[in-house]
Each structure stands twice: as structure tokens, then as C-alpha cells.
Structure 1
Amino acid sequence: MASAVPSPSTIERTEEELDLTPRHSLDTPWRAVVWNDPVNLMSYVVYVFRSYFGFSQEKATRLMLQVHNDGRTTVATGSREAMEAHVAAMHGFGLTATVDRVEP
């Protein structure tokens, strides 16, 4: 009984048909997203954004209103590790937050 060994041309064709492109580049940025919740006051969310991120009153208020009206807002983008640190800090303040990959 002879074993079936693929010919080099079959192997080349198979490799050409495979999509070996990475789904996401290593430098694809991540984002920290803060979600709306029924617990925290709007003034408290503004306070957190100002005290932790150093946002101006206007920017912190605009982002808080996005959370309130749209259900979420992106508060920062960057490396995954940095965004995980921001999300952990938001959790420490009692806010609901997650890390998401920024899609192109």
C-alpha cells in the first residue's frame, strides 16, 4: 500500500490559498470604554474623569453626557496594557468600564 505524499506543487498551491495575514496588527490601538449605569451620579462621573484623566470641565462633561445619552464613551486609546490600567482605575471608582480593540 503506497502512502499519499503531496507533490511540491500541491503544497505550494495550498500555502498560496491560505490567508496568513494577521487579523489584527500588533500596533492596533485599544480603547477604554466607560458604560452607563443606574448607580453613579453624573456629577460623580465628571469628577472621576477630571481627577483621574485630568480632563477639563468641558471635556469631562461632554464625555459624561455621551455615557448618559449613548450608553458609553471612549475615554482613552493606546496600548492594551495602558487601557487595562485605565479600566482597573475606573472599576476602583465604581464605574463600569471595558477594554475594546479599535477596529479600522
Structure 2
Amino acid sequence: MASESASAATGGGTAVEELASEESQTTQPWVTVVWDDPVNLMSYVTHVFSTYFSYPKDQAERLMMQVHMEGRAIVSCGGRDCMERDVQAMHSYGLWATLDKAE
């Protein structure tokens, strides 16, 4: 409480807190989510995961099965720019993908 009143009395603190909040939002991890679709074969989705993300075949197959059985899978996580790039890459392969904040 004392630091809040001192901060309010000097007029500082709020701008710093807002900046810190904005920074945490931009540096918070993001994820690329691939969704199940009725078009692509399971073998093709496995191939995309192996090719683009360089996942070993067993990991690519696990992710593909998660997409198939659960309807979606998180295939990568990181900064927003990188995840936007991954989503665009998945679209270029014909997969349904979206960007979301990591929980």
C-alpha cells in the first residue's frame, strides 16, 4: 500500500505497469494449431509435419493422430511472428491452421 501511494503521489508507476503489461502480451508464447479437415489424407498431414517442422516420423504421426481424433493439435509454439509464419506455411500446404495464445 505504501508503494502504491508513493507511486500515485509522484505520478509514476502507471506508465511502467502498462508498458510491462504490453511487453508480456507480445512476448507471451503463441501456438500454431492445426485443425482436422475432410480433405487431406493422414499420410499427407504426417508428411507435412515431418517436412516443415522436421519432426521425427513417430512424433509427426502422433500429432497427426491427435488432429484426427481430437479435431486439433498444437504443432508449434513460440513468438507471434514465428507462429504467424508457421500458420501461413500450413496454409500453403493446404492444411487448416490458426494462431492462438499459449495457455
Give the TM-score normalised by structure 2.
Answer: 0.77
Number of aligned residue pairs: give it: 89
Q: Residue 85 of structure 1 aligns to which amino acid in structure 2?
A: R
User: Equivalent residue of 2:32, what SS?
Assistant: strand
Q: State the Cα distance separating 1:24 from its structure 2 match.
A: 7.8
- Unmatched tracts of structure 1, length 5 or more: 1-11, 13-17
Number of the residue aligned with 2:41: 41
| Larger-gyration structure (1/2) | 1
User: Equivalent residue of 1:58, what SS?
Assistant: helix
Q: Residue 75 of structure 1 aligns to which amino acid in structure 2?
A: V
Q: State the Cα distance separating 1:23 from its structure 2 match.
A: 7.9
Number of the residue aligned with 1:81: 81
| Structural mapping, 1:46-57, within 5 Å | 46-57=46-57
Query: After TM superposition, where is structure 1 displaced by more than 4 Å over at least 4 residues in a row?
Result: none
Number of the residue aligned with 1:61: 61
Give the TM-score normalised by structure 1.
Answer: 0.77
Q: State the Cα distance separating 1:97 from its structure 2 match.
A: 0.1
- Unmatched tracts of structure 2, length 5 or more: 1-7, 9-13
User: Equivalent residue of 2:66, what SS?
Assistant: helix
For residues 58 and 46 of structure 2, what CA distance do their matches in structure 1 show? 9
Superposition CA RMSD, Å: 2.1
